[in-house]
Amino acid sequence: GYNPAAVAFVPISGWHGDNMLEASTKMPWFKGWNVERKEGKAEGKCLIEALDAILPPARPTDKPLRLPLQDVYKIGGIGTVPVGRVETGILKPGTIVVFAPANITTEVKSVEMHHEALQEAVPGDNVGFNVKNVSVKELLRGYVA
């Protein structure tokens, strides 16, 4: 479940725009929202303030690398390029990765996101990475690096 004290409840009317961007005069009974969390308190009167008060979750970069493969490509002149989203950890060129469940160990030559080379990929990044001495036929969708 969730802690109701840590969630902002804001009555709004999207049709009339009440309490969306500024406090509405049509809801005198609503005194505002406030949330209490370990990072501190936040309060406001409208939806945009509640959205601005949401804290982004911490990226799990301190955990071991977990990257489920979405697809594997063979690109001429480059080689085998597995593609997937980094769930935890950090992926860098030069990193030694093991693909489970096949237990294939190899080195990452390069990491790219949207045709741009990256020095490191962090959780949330959808990346393609070039691997050494591994055939496209050895890697399958669903393997985890």
Predicted confidence (pLDDT) per residue in 21-72, tens digit: 999 999 999 999 999 988 889 999 999 999 999 988 888 999 999 999 999 9
Q: Let me know whether 43 and 98 are in one domain.
A: no
Q: Which pLDDT value is given to residue 85? A: 97
pLDDT at 137 > cutoff 90: yes
The pTM of the full predicted model, rounded to 2 decimals, is 0.70
pLDDT at residue number 37: 85
- Identify whether 41 is part of a domain: yes
Residues 37 and 81 both lie in one domain: no
67 or 6, greater pLDDT? 67
In terms of residue numbers, what domain contains 132? Answer: 69-138
Within a domain: residue 89?
yes
* 30-39, long-range: CB < 8 A, 24+ apart: 33/8, 33/9, 34/8, 35/5, 35/6, 35/7, 35/8, 36/5, 36/6, 37/6
If one counts the domains in the chain, the total is: 2
The verdict on residue 64 lying in a domain is no
The percent of residues above 70 in pLDDT, for the chain, comes to: 100
Q: What is the CATH number of the domain that holds 76?
A: 2.40.30.10
The answer as to whether 57 is a domain residue is: no
Q: What is the pLDDT of residue 52?
A: 93
- DSSP annotation of 125: -
Residues 41 and 14 occupy one common structural domain: yes
What values do phi and psi take at 61, rounded to 5?
A: -80, -15
Do the domain assignments include residue 19? yes
- CB of 59 closer than 8 Å to CB of 44: no
What pLDDT sits at residue 62? 92
Does 99 map to a domain? Answer: yes
Residue 75 shares a structural domain with residue 121? yes
Q: Establish if 88 belongs to a structural domain.
A: yes
* pLDDT reported for residue 5: 87
Same structural domain, 80 and 48? no
Main-chain dihedrals φ then ψ at residue 109, nearest 5 degrees: -85, -45
**112-117 average pLDDT score:** 93
Average pLDDT, the chain: 93
**For position 59, what pLDDT does the model report?**
87
Mean pLDDT of 101-111: 95
When pLDDT is averaged across residues 85-98 and rounded to a whole number, the result is: 96
- With a CB cutoff of 8 Å and minimum separation 6, the contacts of 77 are none
* Mean pLDDT (whole number) for 66-80: 94
